[in-house]
Structure 1
Amino acid sequence: MQENKLTIPRTARYYTLGTPSPQIKQLWLVCHGYGQLARFFLRHFNVLNNGQTLLVAPEALSRFYLDGFSGRVGATWMTKEDRLAEIDDYVAYLDLLIKEQRKQLPADVRVTVLGFSQGAVTVSRWVAAGKARCHRLILWAGAFPEDVDFAAGREAFAHLPVTLVYGTQDALIKEDMLVRHQQVMAQLGITPAILSYEGGHTLHAETLLLLHKAENS
């Protein structure tokens, strides 16, 4: 048996909060976690919709039923099956998405990329491998991939502020995991800021506002 591959066009879905205009000062690209859908994920960012911020939530290309064969649907950025092709696909997808968004915005717009849970791994690989550049990377309740391309990564992450955010009651985030993430980052010259809040494996409105205000200051 021989494996064969064919590259085809895909329809990718994404959601936005805010309207592109000369008044936009911040562009936030936010990537959801495993089993989520972009339109529900983006609702957490309503607190940042102030007329000067454009929020863009891409949806992962693979969808599935969360329970059995019907009902609620979620999406995933990748699985272990043909993972390298899936990574290439979402890197190309996010590259094109941010390129198209920036065409509509002022040249000096500040770009924040946030990944939640599985989305944190996704955006880390994208920043390391993609063509687009951002001004800040926020990894929320997620891992930093240990298989990142270190040769490309050192250039991509040079001088890029990185923040790790987690809830103190998040059952998926352990102290040894945080230490390991920081060790991997150190190999790329990354010394992340660390921000925590009282809560579990979810986004936190007050912390989002704090991060948003920090970029404006």
Structure 2
Amino acid sequence: MEHHLTVARTARYQQLGELSARTKRVWFVCHGYGQLAAYFVRHFAFLVDNCDDTVVIAPEGLSRFYLQGNGGRVGASWMTRDDRLAEIDDHVGFLNQLAGLVLAKCPADVEITVLGFSQGTATVGRWLTRALFRPAHLILCAGGFPEDVAPETARDLLTPLRLSLVIGSNDEYISVAQATEQQQRLAQLGASPHLVPFEGRHELNRAVLESLAV
């Protein structure tokens, strides 16, 4: 008979910029499958260059593994299909604890952007339905809002939210047509998703990120 035991463990995150009373903007950015936060966060360095009022927080998935064989490069994952509900609870708990720590050091009116890339899109979608704050902007890159979120729960989150769906024209995992279908599905839930296509593959695009940071 299977049982579960809740234990304490050490979670890891990366931070660009310094939190202070001057902080006006915080970005929470969640990586995709097989990535590490230390490398992922580099895509957002431009947000804090010569700017002391913006902070980027990049949490890392709780499960790490060798990308090939028994050694070499290491990646992280948010969850798999095995014991998925417990893993979702674990990373939602981690992200809520992290957000509480970060936002306690910011002014009450700090502007929050949440971005998920690839597997991280489902992660941030599920997280925000149980988060203790509401972001100003949700950016889903090369992925989608999780379909297992109840429609009424999704509607409560998405209706008043600025929502951007970013997709590369040659993405290997999700097509522009699929992203368009998702845009239509989210619109039926009361959201106003803005589709942002770009010439590229399954990747983050600097020019697009710069345009969305405005």
- Shorter-chain TM-score tier: over 0.9
Contact 1:128 1:157 (8 Å CA) reproduced: no
Task: Please give the alpha-carbon distance, in whole angstroms, between the structure 2 residues aligned to 1:4 and 1:184.
Answer: 37
**Can you list the C-alpha shifts for 1:96-146, whole angstroms capped at 9, x where unaligned?**
111110111111110000000000111011112333321110001112211
Residue number in structure 2 paired with 1:73 = 74
Q: 4+ residue stretches of structure 1 with deviation over 3 A?
A: none
**Can you list the C-alpha shifts for 1:131-169, whole angstroms capped at 9, x where unaligned?**
332111000111221111323222222301110011222
Contact 1:136 1:160 (8 Å CA) reproduced: yes
Q: Which letter does structure 1 place at the counterpart of 2:139?
A: I
For structure 2, the residue ranges without an aligned partner over 5 or more in a row are none
**Can you list the C-alpha shifts for 1:71-114, whole angstroms capped at 9, x where unaligned?**
10000000000001111111111111111101111111100000
**Can you list the C-alpha shifts for 1:157-208, whole angstroms capped at 9, x where unaligned?**
2301110011222222213311332243234211201112222111111111
Partner SS, residue 98 of structure 1: helix
Q: Give the Å deviation of 1:8.
A: 0.8
Task: Please give the alpha-carbon distance, in whole angstroms, between the structure 2 residues aligned to 1:175 and 1:167.
Answer: 7
Q: Select the structure that is richer in strand.
A: 2
Instruction: List aligned pairs for 1:62-211, cutoff 5 A.
Output: 62-211=63-212
Task: Please give the alpha-carbon distance, in whole angstroms, between the structure 2 residues aligned to 1:117 and 1:201.
Answer: 8
Residue number in structure 2 paired with 1:45 = 44
Task: Please give the alpha-carbon distance, in whole angstroms, between the structure 2 residues aligned to 1:125 and 1:184.
Answer: 17
For structure 1, the residue ranges without an aligned partner over 5 or more in a row are none
Normalised to the residue count of structure 1, the TM-score between the two structures is 0.93
Aligned-residue Cα RMSD (Å) equals 1.3
Contact 1:146 1:184 (8 Å CA) reproduced: no
Partner SS, residue 33 of structure 1: coil
How many residues get paired?
A: 212
Q: Given the superposition, is the C-alpha separation of residues 143 and 167 from structure 1 closer, same or farther in structure 2, using an over 3 Å criterion?
A: same
